[in-house]
Structure 1
């Protein structure tokens, strides 16, 4: 039985339809991002994590979102260019989505249901909320925007070494 996360389709930042099925067997760190946020410098640590652990099976998936303080106003093309020029982002980035409200993307509906926030809340509170998914597609944990990506390194390494 395929994990529900692998049955979700997404659009990448260049407009191509992709299935999350292509990430089966990988550890995933899924992050809602923004270019004009106080947490935007986390792109640097995300990229560092990706360069270090991607060869062992980590995939970081970035989903730009403009729902928090209008901190991601640009087009997908603008966002892609910003990430390349300022942070050399090489991990997969996807088209801008909604993570809360009536138009919540199916991926975020699943993530929020499987890994609730503080006091059981499902809503995403801000940009750079992170979700960790194991190799079997199980959503394990949600991390607040204040959790820096490199703070997750040991936990990710453990998951990469697990069957």
Structure 2
């Protein structure tokens, strides 16, 4: 019986790129969560982008979703953690009763500053890792995302009537 690693990295490489990317992201998220807890930052890794965006001022869930390129539902889930931790609150928009912008609490402002310092260090760690492997993965993934926006993965197959986004 063949080992899956042999199949994924041999015969079908790079066809299992998505699986490998998910594993790497999972490892980074797990380690990031451990590091943040050790440093007393207690912010779930998936909530960091919302926290840092809110450090610049109030935003609605829709505005956060647009800026980070995530679904509204995913942002609601991530923001809920900030609300539960007392780092953010819902506000009122005096011009639009439907809009409930989020803003950081005093604790959230402090935590965002500490998380920003952590993220600057994380950027240095990533850069050292990219130097070690000889590939700037951030640049590569950014280019890949842009290419897939121009032409979806499905549309790149030579199939009749491939569904595209």
Instruction: Name the one with the larger strand percent.
Output: 1
Settle same-fold status: TM greater than 0.5: no
Instruction: Name the one with the larger helix percent.
Output: 2
Highest CA radius of gyration, 1 or 2? 2
- Larger relative contact order, structure 1 or 2 (CA cutoff 8 Å, min sep 6): 1
